Structure 1
Amino acid sequence: DAIAALRRIPASDADPALTARVAYNLGNAAYRLGAAAEASKPQEALQRWAEALVAYRRAMGADPDDQDAKLNHELVERKIAELKKKLEEQQQRQDQQQDQRQEEEKKDEQADQRQDGQEQQAGQQDRPQQGEEDRQQQQAEQPQDQDGAGEDERQAEQPTPDSASEQAAGEAIVWITLSGFFWWPRVLLGIEEQLYAFYDQADLLHRICQDQAAYMRRCLDEFCALCVPDFLTLAEDMSYNHGPMISRRQFQEFMAPWYAVVVPLARQRGIPVIVDSDGDVEPLIPWLEEAGVDGILPLERMAGVDAARVRARHPEWVMVGGFDKTVMHRGEAALRREFQRLLPVMRSGRFVPSVDHQTPPEVSLEDYRLYLGLLREYAAAAVA
């Protein structure tokens, strides 16, 4: 073993020339062993070449003018980089081939299942078939289960026993959010198709809302079995910057009948109902009041919604939001002016100032901490 023999030669700092020669030869021997193993044992080759780099660095340390050791060191570095890249590409190809095999196996399994299903269906052809009218009647009597129907649906998460106990101790607020009768059809159909459906597919919209009302009933029953939420929000998002996306007549025809089903269910349990809608919601509020709704959020300031104006027109209305988030990064004076603007509404009660949607990205952590501190200060002043 050439490397073992070279290592037996003493290398002394007192003789740097000898140290350089021994280290250089060790590096060459390790490099050749790595080159011999490259094709069949690439990991061993990488290990040998790493040893070669150590030896060449020792040679250069003993003799800084040793250009051969320097060139060989650079060569081995390139060889290591090339081999690592080659191994990574091989691994990627293997992963792709494995994924392809798994996909083919999955397709084969699905084909087998389809064949089994066809055979079972063929064996059942002599059995009496359920009539279409019977199926439709069963569907009408049993509300559809919408669990997992899409990521956009705002599903109700069941409260945990911990959250229920924290609520009972006054340490937490618990609420439930459900997809409303404008929101959920839009998730299913898309906004354009939904708006056409008010004219072209009225029966479909009513059926969707009927099923959603049944789903809401189940959610409330299961949720309230653990704890009664402090409030219920119905996600609607039915306004834009210049007002509602539907008319009052459409609201009364397509949504109010289902509010008349859900709102009493919440009221029976003492749960206030708050509608969540973006945009200019002020024209909506009378419609919602007539439907028995208690409040609205988030009072989007950028859409021109004014909490003071809403309070003047609707003294008992519950409101959350109304804070102009565009001032949050402008310093304490700007924040105080905004809180001063909202302070009379805060003193009127049934109002929680808050930004609508997310805090703007230009707001720093210190800005947000300042906002929270002032919120506590003005909240205390409002009830003093």
Structure 2
Amino acid sequence: MTLRENSLAILRYENYEKLPIVNFGYWGETLQKWVQEGHLTQDEIQNAGDGSENDRRIGRKLGFDFNWYSCFGGSCGIHPPFEQKVLEVREDGSKIMVDSNGVIVKVKDDIVSIPSEIDHMLKDRESWERDFKHRLQYSESRINLDALAKIPRPEERETPLGIHCGSLFGEIRNILGVEGTSYVYCDDEELYDEIIDTVGELCYKVVKRILESGVQFDFGHFWEDICFKNGPLVIPSVFAEKVGPHYKKITELLREHAIDIVSLDCDGQIDALIPIWLENGVNTMFPIEVGTWGASIAPWREKYGNAIRGVGGMNKTVFAQDYAAVDREVERLKPLVALGGYIPCMDHRIPPDAKWENVQYYCEQMRKAFQ
């Protein structure tokens, strides 16, 4: 069986030959550190995006089979983007600027974390109609049709390939902000609904056009990031009522094209939203954040049975420790893999504190344990 066949068999609770050893990419700072240490060259880390040739080359050096996050999709966000421009330069060197989503952010050249949000251009019906609505409409320019035409047939692919289905609420949270999203819901529910429906219809049309090309994909994938460490950033009942139908419409379209594995990336404590996703056709959580709350596939499996699958849940902090910590993590993963429908993976990009030799050792020990 190929890596692709093994992966899909696992997530379908079928017999398989070996567990793939997968990753979720690397921070740019991590790759630069490994160049400085002599493990990689500067050329090897150029254009090393998910699923690229350099990404595969780096993974092979470490011992991974592939990067799980390999998807093709169209643009489902702000298009055309807002012009990025600096509004103010402060004494500490930080800049207040407008980003491509129309969000006012604070950035500093020597800080690589997510910028602080200062304000948002989208506030009400007037700003929606003037600046945003037309930027969330479907057009063929949202899809790279040339790249789509070059995707190999399933039997020619060694590893799984997903179709990215966009973001049905996370993109809205990006544009409006958490507070702004809440205020619009309270102040103008009709506008709130229109924004959700506009984004949902855009995502549906992009997915539909890609699938109509005849290219066959192995799984569907959504991105959201709408939870934090204590739970959702949206009221679950509101999410179910207003966003749930858009998931269902897209996942039904996927199943019409023989795509039965549908995953979703949402950081944070997601438990309150899981039943909503399951009810509307999403059946695989990727990642599964070990985080401060110790997320795991085990309690979800106990609650939802084989309806739920997972990719993730590997505690990457052991990469900054020692071989003994890696050994303990591999042992912790063994009973989870035995549940079926689960593939361990780092929850997010491998961070700069990761030691090259620890990552290699993890891949070696996982291969001994599961292959």
TM-score normalised over the length of structure 2: 0.57
Counterpart position of 2:263: 274
Equivalent residue for 1:127? Answer: none
Distance in 2, matches of 1:260 and 1:156, equals 22
In structure 2, the gaps of 5 or more residues are 1-128
Mapped contact 1:320–1:354 kept (Cα < 8 A): yes
Q: 2:285, 2:309 within 8 Å by CA — same for their partners in 1?
A: yes
The one-letter code of the counterpart of 1:230 is D
Q: Please give the per-residue CA displacement for 1:101-126, whole angstroms capped at 9, x wherever unaligned.
A: xxxxxxxxxxxxxxxxxxxxxxxxxx
Pairing 1:214–2:201 present: yes
* 1:314 and 2:304 matched: yes
The reply to whether residue 288 of structure 1 matches residue 288 of structure 2 is no
Aligned residue number for residue 164 of structure 2: 177
Q: In 2, Cα distance between the equivalents of 1:191 and 1:147?
A: 31
1:29-108 correspondence runs (5 A): none
The counterpart of 2:155, out of the listed 164, 168, 171, is 168
| 1:212 Cα deviation after fit | 2.4
Which protein is richer in helix relative to its size? 1
1:258 equivalent in alignment to 2:279: no
> Letter of the aligned partner of 2:197 in structure 1?
Q
CA displacement at 1:354 relative to structure 2: 0.9
CA–CA distance in 1 between the matches of 2:303 and 2:143?
32
2:348 is paired with a residue of what secondary structure? coil
Q: Aligned AA for 1:312?
A: E
The amino acid that maps onto 2:222 is: L
Contact 2:168-2:203 within 8 A present in 1 as well: no
Q: Which structure shows the bigger proportion of residues in strand conformation?
A: 2
8 Å CA contact 1:205–1:254 kept in 2: the answer is no
Q: 1:330 aligns with which of 310, 321, 324?
A: 321
Structure 1 residues 214 and 199, CA gap change in structure 2 (3 angstroms): same
C-alpha contact 1:233 1:273 (8 A) present in aligned 2: yes
Aligned position for 1:86: none
- CA distance in structure 2 between the aligned counterparts of 1:340 and 1:156, rounded to whole angstroms: 43
1:376 corresponding residue in structure 2: 367
Residue segments in structure 1 that go unaligned for 5+ positions in a row:
1-135, 149-154
Residues 1:328 and 1:339: Cα distance change in structure 2 (over 3 Å): same
CA distance in 1, matches of 2:175, 2:314: 32
In 1, Cα distance between equivalents of 2:144 and 2:346: 24
CA deviation map 1:39-84 (0-9, x unaligned)? xxxxxxxxxxxxxxxxxxxxxxxxxxxxxxxxxxxxxxxxxxxxxx
Please state how far the C-alpha of 1:157 moved relative to its aligned partner.
6.1
**Counterparts of 1:200 and 1:376, CA distance in 2:** 55
Instruction: Give distance in 2, aligned partners of 1:344 and 1:363.
Output: 25
Distance in 1, Cα, partners of 2:246 & 2:312? 26
Is the 8 Å Cα contact of residues 290 and 315 (structure 2) preserved in structure 1? yes
**Cα distance, 1:146 vs structure 2:** 7.2
In 2, are the aligned partners of 1:161 and 1:226 still within 8 Å (CA)?
A: no
| Alpha-carbon separation, structure 1, partners of 2:242 and 2:216 | 28
Instruction: Give the whole-Å Cα distance in 1 for the aligned partners of 2:168 and 2:299.
Output: 27
Cα 1:216–1:335, aligned 2, differ >3 Å: closer, same or farther? same
Decide which of 118, 137, 141 is 1:144's aligned counterpart.
137
Q: Against the structure 1 CA distance between its residues 336 and 171, is the aligned structure 2 distance closer, same or farther, given a 3 Å change threshold?
A: same
Alpha-carbon shift at residue 205 of structure 1 (Å): 2.6
Go from structure 1 to structure 2 and tell me whether the alpha carbon gap of 1:196 and 1:337 turns closer, same or farther (over 3 Å shift).
Answer: same
1:147 Cα offset (Å): 8.1
Q: Deviations over 1:256-279 (max 9, x none)?
A: 122222121112112222121001
Q: Report the AA paired with residue 338 of structure 1.
A: E
Shift of 1:201: 2.6
C-alpha change, 1:318 and 1:146, in structure 2 (3 Å) is farther
CA distance change for structure 1 residues 184 and 374 in 2, over 3 Å: closer, same or farther?
Answer: same
CA contact (8 A) 1:322 1:355 kept: yes
Q: Closer, same or farther in 2 for the Cα pair 1:147/1:329, shift >3 Å? A: farther
- Determine if contact 1:243/1:283 at 8 Å carries over to the other structure: yes
Q: Is the 8 A contact 1:299 1:306 kept in 2?
A: yes
Task: Decide whether the 8 Å contact of 2:263 with 2:282 is kept in 1.
Answer: yes
Structure 1 distance, partners of 2:152, 2:338, is: 30
In the alignment of these two chains, the number of paired residues is: 235
In structure 1, which of residues 356, 360, 372 is the aligned counterpart of residue 351 of structure 2? 360
**In 2, distance between residues paired with 1:378 and 1:307?**
19
